[in-house]
Structure 1
């Protein structure tokens, strides 16, 4: 049987998307009634020798076309497909494989890490005096406290800060109030985010609810969750939220209950919440983190070089910890050996690349392309017009993609209304550029950027540079006479010089 290519169950990533494809298949098959489909399934199952007691009722067949189902009957769904397409095993096999894939995703989402205690704090936590004081002030109240959301770039230390604050609150209060923690896996490199219904089921059990009293419906679970926590003074930590849809059912919304959330995304549509952006470390705290990780004696010989290393890493805690461990484990490396190219490569290699790639993977297609093309722009503030030139798109489209990158905290919007990537985001973009974009399109984008600079008087100049084996006349801002860029290979007295 010929089935149009537009009916592709392989596109489905969730059970709801699979059901949407099944509805299209039903329409293509002439839109038979549920009664007729039930009759066909009964006929097929009778031929297969299945006992009458297993034959589905009409209402059960009708439920196969309803979205929002968390435990669908895979056997019956495939029976519906067969009732629509006949006995063509090639077609049925495609639907069977798709169903296995989406049910595997659903099963993975149902595997949650939720506990009635906090994970231990990281031993190398440093600084953050201002954010700690602000978070504690926002959470210290007996009245209704809006959920506090810590937002920021991958690797900026949101989880460490949340756990540090939560442990401090518990140490001061010393109460028997409930404590709940869940890893929502919103930016996990592999696997889907945690299913909020599964998280609620675990939370309800931890709060003493027996399995027979846990509702099936997500909204009913959320309502019972809020009732059990009302007035208890509970502290809930929800780490790595994916989006508002996942997070909303997990917010109790009751007085006498504090909720602390971390997310890489600027979450919207949540109602009354308090947002606390988590910034990069300040220079002194960056130095302290390197000292705590590498050892005081390792960083003591050349403090200016240590500060230069922190600057090149953009004061990102994850990157500082990676390089600190490298310093500790490689004593033969002088501090001057950590100039830009090996420094950024080492940081990306040992965890930062994975963290950025997870944020990158959840971007819309256009924003992902712009992220790569940012490697062609100087590591400085960018105007919307420059992004539009890189993309070859109107400014409104470029602004939309820049906003998506800002929401994911991969770039920041400056006080001047321009945009600037973090140094490690820029380095990641350089890595991906020649992998994901053909050389012809890269040269075209660079040409548009340079032409835009000439028209706007931006003063960009062409400077040869090799990225991913492709030699390009890169866009660079002309340096002032007394601020000529120095080669990273020029090391003097153990100092790290700017690349």
Structure 2
């Protein structure tokens, strides 16, 4: 008679608040093998002891624990349980202290007589419950298993919002997003621009077009960088995403750094498209970036963000006049021909800003008594007041950008709004701000990073018309 002791130790993260880590605590498996049992019989004996069914097992057989469940091979079961645990073959092999080739051969059916220790370690690594261990017993014998449901399918997240019905004048930008690839690092596209420029619409539209290339799922995370409430903390966003990816609450670590590490592990070897909308800054963004090249990340932000690695920045400008007219007429549902010069003036009064054009079109469509000229006359008075429709408002969007500025930049913003609409140089800004030229340039650079100021040529600046109206009204 031989006595074999198999011990498998797994790392355990513990925290002062008692939250569980990943994976579970250290564990030991004791196997008592008799010389008269073959390897499969030994596995049946040990696993049945673990499930409380030792009295039902005889050498060469498996106890009666339910009706047969046909068609579940050992390889299919292992693959299903591994996918349920959100593990790659490499990760399962590492957790079970096995060679990855062993896992591959078992899943493919090439390894028909697995070793006792291999089966035990895999059962522990997959944290199988009693019913699953009984099913494994039968599969190890090559016999039908008990009548238990197979591993539940892994839910593939499809979180993208509805695609926009009208996206005009963004063909070049779409080509940039769709064409950004990397073979070594995760490709990241940071779409930035002023409030209402159409960043989210572009990101969502591109994501819908790219979705078939990422069959393991599409995630959409609203980081609320410029929402009325505080931006989402990285740890909170990571916990939400991990739950979406199937990680149980008890396996989500307490510390944000550990959550980020688990997030990268779960996404390893998968092709997932991730849209991170309205990022506030790099601190919020970086923990949410995967590590491998299989995923694609599209970020939107009102700020110019610096992402390390193979990241591509894409700044959105206002629409061309022709694209603005096309967007306006489509959304307004104009079934009659309006003078092109009037339409052009309407979209110019909207600052060629997609949000403003959409609001103006919605107002015209909701008021059948209005004509395009009447709308133009209203926009000539107080256009910020006119460019509001229910929860959508250009002024409110700019308010949120202003609210996120530090006090000193708010002061600069208000002072620049008190001047004229024409462009100005750094020397004029220095005089207006009563400061030195170098410091004036730094302050102006900070407003440009927030997309509240434009630099039309070196050291020559201007405000977008709607931004100037907003700053002047403060």
Under a length normalisation based on structure 2, what TM-score does the superposition of the two structures give? 0.63
- Tell me the equivalent position of 1:268: 306
Residue aligning to 2:359: 322
Q: Which residue of 1 aligns with 2:97?
A: none
- What does residue 430 of structure 2 align with? 388
Q: Is the 8 A contact 1:127 1:285 kept in 2?
A: yes
Structure 2 distance, partners of 1:398, 1:168, is 43
Partner residue in 1 for 2:185: 144
Is 1:184 the counterpart of 2:226 in the alignment?
Answer: no
Which ranges in structure 2 are unaligned for 5 or more consecutive residues?
1-15, 18-156
Report matched runs for 1:281-430 at 5 Å.
Answer: 281-297=319-335, 300-337=337-374, 338-339=376-377, 340-347=380-387, 350-430=392-472
Q: What SS does the aligned partner of 1:341 have?
A: coil
1:163 equivalenced with 2:200 (yes/no): no
Is the 1:363–1:404 contact (alpha carbons within 8 Å) kept by the matching residues of 2?
no
* C-alpha deviation, 1:271, in angstroms: 4.7
Q: CA RMSD in A?
A: 2.2
Question: How many residues were matched structurally?
Answer: 316
Q: CA deviation at 1:248?
A: 0.8
Instruction: Please name the residue that 2:34 is paired with.
Output: none
Cα deviation for residue 116 of structure 1 reads 4.6
8 Å CA contact 2:185–2:310 kept in 1: the answer is no
- Match of 1:301, SS? coil
1:116–1:206: 8 Å Cα contact kept in structure 2? Answer: no
TM-superposition CA deviations, 1:233-284 (whole Å, max 9, x none): 1111100001100111001121211111000001136454210111211111
Provide closer, same or farther for how the CA distance between residues 178 and 334 of structure 1 changes in structure 2, counting only shifts above 3 A: closer
Instruction: Quote the Cα distance in structure 1 between the aligned partners of 2:443 and 2:388.
Output: 24
Whether the 8 Å contact between 1:314 and 1:422 is mirrored in structure 2 is yes
Residue 231 in structure 1 maps to residue 275 in structure 2? no
Counterparts of 1:467-486 in structure 2 under 5 Å?
none
Secondary structure (helix, strand or coil) at the match of 1:414 reads strand
CA distance in 1: counterparts of 2:257 and 2:469, whole angstroms = 43
Distance 2:351 2:410 in 1: 21
1:7-29 deviation per Cα after TM superposition (whole angstroms, max 9, x unaligned): xxxxxxxxxxxxxxxxxxxxxxx
Tell me the alpha carbon deviations over residues 401-456 of structure 1, each in whole angstroms, 9 at most, x when there is no partner: 21121011011112343111111001101211xxxxxxxxxxxxxxxxxxxxxxxx
* Offset from partner CA, 1:155-177 (integer Å, 9 cap, x none): 00000000000000114x3x531
Q: Structure 1 stretch 266-275 or stretch 231-240: which is displaced more?
A: 266-275
- Which of 1 and 2 has greater Rg? 2
TM-score (norm 1): 0.60
Instruction: Answer yes or no: is 1:247 the counterpart of 2:285.
Output: yes
Q: Note the C-alpha offset of 1:303.
A: 1.3
Query: Do the aligned partners of 1:158 and 1:278 also contact (CA within 8 Å) in 2?
Result: yes
Q: Deviations over 1:76-109 (max 9, x none)?
A: xxxxxxxxxxxxxxxxxxxxxxxxxxxxxxxxxx
1:259: which partner in 2?
297
